[in-house]
């Protein structure tokens, strides 16, 4: 399992480590905010397009070859910029990293499920999410240190070595998990499976959690600056969010495996806690920023392992890669949609209303589920009486 945790750390560290430091990159390469936005979007854009495809490939030929190929490609894409030493090549390197992560990220998730029994799925995904969150937390910090100590090439060089080392480790330590025989699947079969509530509900919760996480990382520093906080204080607030998300995930996974928590109650609680955290961001001053960071972290940390464990439990083992890739696509859409929603509302009104809009959207799911359960209860009681 450890190489799989390292793979999760690698994609998170690579995504945030470089993204957080592109703004201070050479003016010859980043000539405007539009160019910066394009560089930031390349990684996520590649993931949105390719994750379902690589997930399906993992089901067809086995998850381990796709995992190893993705890690090797990630190392090669990172090394490309180190060798080329030209600002223009950062575009190609960033696109290559995103495409490579599209291969090894859903493959790692599928292997996490295949290598653990059903009774330990929650704990396994909780641990995987923990190390991925550590990558998100340390990426901007360690990336900044590396860029300060050398330049962006040094950061890319470290990522190349990291990808290569994890590939070798996974090749040696991760057992081969052969693809399972499966019946032929039509496009209509795939559409039915992806439209099933067993897939849609956890994926929607994961997308909502990722949207809130992205908004917290991106917009809480803006609120902190408006309250007079310095960059160190706002950075600490974001670290609180990431740390809470990291440490809650293993606990939530163990509670699910131990029967102390159900998927439905955990996802509802996580969405409501996250919505309350976004509402807390509307409060002025440092209290609002820190409360929002802690609650968003706890809520998203509760949702993530439960969502993936639910997807693994409801998916035929031979289709795990495809399901994980499609679910990751939902997360990427949330990652992009959350900030767009908040920014759009903030442009028309203020950032406070932007936080409120996303909070209401996340709270709507649990409230609708509660209303539906209340409507079903009288019907069930009536049928029992008959």
What is the DSSP track for 224-249? HHHTT--HHHHHHHHHHHHHHHHHHH
pLDDT at 375: 56
**Is the model's pLDDT at 273 over the cut of 90?**
yes
Determine the pLDDT at residue 380: 47
pLDDT per position as a tens digit, 278-320 = 999 998 888 888 899 899 999 999 998 898 888 888 877 777 7
Closest by CA to 321, choosing from 72, 75, 50, is 50
% of the chain residues with pLDDT over 90: 22
Confidence of residue 270 (pLDDT cuts 50, 70, 90): very high
Question: Which of the residue ranges 234-238, 247-251, 259-263, 269-273 would you say has the lowest mean pLDDT?
Answer: 234-238
Max avg pLDDT among 5-9, 213-217, 333-337: 5-9
Question: Which residue in 249, 195, 219 sits closest to 359, CA to CA?
Answer: 219
Instruction: Give the long-range contacts of residues 360-366, CB within 8 A, separation 24 or more.
Output: 360/275, 361/208, 362/208, 362/211, 362/212, 362/271, 362/272, 362/274, 362/275, 362/278, 363/271, 363/272, 363/275, 365/204, 365/205, 365/208, 365/268, 365/271, 366/268, 366/271, 366/272
pLDDT over threshold 90, residue 151? no
d(CA 138, CA 169): 21
Share of the chain above pLDDT 70, in %: 83
Neighbour count for residue 186 (Cβ, 10 Å): 8
Q: What is the pLDDT of residues 104-135, one digit of tens each?
A: 888 898 898 888 888 888 888 888 888 888 88
DSSP 16-53: HHHHTTGGGS-TTT--SHHHHHHHHHHHHHHHHHHHHH
Mean pLDDT of 160-181: 89
Mean pLDDT for the stretch of residues 88-101: 86
Q: How confident is the model at residue 371 (pLDDT cuts 50, 70, 90)?
A: low
- pLDDT band at 379; cut points 50, 70, 90: very low
> Using 50, 70 and 90 to split pLDDT, how confident is the model at 53?
confident
Crossing angle (nearest 10°) for helices 152-173 and 2-19: 170
Round to whole Å and give the CA distance between 62 and 244: 34
Could you tell me if 27 and 82 are in contact, meaning their C-beta atoms sit under 8 angstroms apart? no
Report pLDDT for 292: 92
Cβ-based neighbours of 171, under 8 Å, separated by 6 or more: 68
Q: Which residues contact 292 (CB under 8 A, 6 or more apart)?
A: 216, 220, 223, 277, 278, 280, 281, 283, 355
Q: What is the pLDDT of residue 30?
A: 55
The band of 78, judged by pLDDT with boundaries at 50, 70 and 90, is very high
pLDDT value of residue 100: 92
d(CA 112, CA 315): 14
CA dist 192 and 31 (Å) reads 46
* Confidence band, pLDDT 50/70/90 cuts, at residue 14: confident
What's the rounded mean pLDDT across residues 64-86? 90
Other beta carbons within 10 Å of 100: 28
Least confident of 7-11, 28-32, 124-128, 292-296: 28-32
Determine the pLDDT at residue 384.
47
Cβ–Cβ < 8 Å for 115, 320: no
Residue 355 dihedral angles phi and psi, to the nearest 5°:
-60, -40
Q: 108: closest CA among 128, 133, 78?
A: 128
At 42 the pLDDT is 73
- Please tell me the number of Cα atoms within 13 Å of 322 on its side-chain side: 22
Distance between CA atoms of residues 99 and 72, nearest Å: 12
- What's the 3-state SS for 187-210? HHHHHHHHHCHHHHHHHHHHHHHH
Alpha-carbon distance of 229 to 287, in angstroms, equals 11
Q: How far apart are CA 361 and CA 208, in angstroms?
A: 9
pLDDT of amino acid 330: 79
Mean pLDDT of the chain: 81
């Amino acid at each position: 399992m450890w190489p799989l945790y390292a793979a999760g750390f690698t994609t998170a560290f690579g995504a945030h480590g470089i993204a957080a430091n592109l703004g201070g990159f050479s003016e010859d390469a980043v000539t405007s905010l539009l160019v910066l936005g394009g560089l930031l979007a390349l990684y996520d854009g590649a993931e949105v397009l390719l994750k379902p495809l690589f997930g399906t490939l993992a089901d067809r030929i086995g998850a381990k070859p796709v995992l190893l190929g993705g890690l090797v490609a990630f190392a090669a894409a990172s090394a490309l910029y180190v060798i080329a030493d030209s600002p223009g090549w950062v575009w190609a390197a960033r696109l290559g990293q995103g495409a490579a992560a599209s291969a090894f990220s859903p493959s790692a998730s599928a292997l996490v499920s295949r290598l653990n029994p059903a009774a330990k799925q929650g704990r396994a995904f909780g641990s995987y999410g923990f190390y991925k969150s550590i990558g998100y937390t340390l990426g901007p910090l360690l990336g900044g240190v590396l860029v300060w100590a050398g330049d962006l090439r040094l950061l890319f060089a470290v990522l190349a070595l990291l990808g290569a080392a994890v590939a070798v480790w996974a090749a040696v330590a991760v057992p081969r998990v052969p693809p399972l025989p499966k019946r032929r699947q039509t496009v209509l079969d795939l559409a039915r499976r992806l439209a099933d509530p067993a897939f849609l509900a956890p994926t929607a919760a994961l997308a909502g959690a990722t949207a809130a996480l992205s908004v917290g990382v991106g917009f809480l520093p803006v609120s902190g600056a408006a309250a007079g906080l310095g960059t160190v204080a706002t950075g600490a607030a974001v670290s609180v969010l990431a740390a809470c998300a990291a440490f809650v995930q293993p606990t939530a996974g163990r509670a699910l495996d131990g029967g102390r928590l159900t998927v439905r109650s955990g996802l509802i609680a996580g969405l409501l806690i996250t919505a309350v955290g976004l509402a807390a961001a509307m409060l002025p001053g440092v209290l609002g920023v820190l409360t929002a960071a802690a609650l968003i972290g706890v809520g998203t940390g509760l949702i993530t392992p439960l969502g993936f464990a639910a997807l693994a439990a409801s998916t035929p083992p031979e289709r795990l890669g495809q399901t994980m890739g499609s679910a990751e696509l939902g997360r990427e859409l949330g990652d992009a949609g959350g900030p767009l929603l908040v920014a759009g509302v903030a442009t028309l009104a203020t950032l406070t209303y932007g936080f409120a809009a996303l909070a209401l959207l996340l709270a709507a799911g649990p409230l609708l589920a509660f209303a539906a359960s209340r409507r079903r209860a009288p019907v069930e009681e009536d049928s029992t009486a008959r």
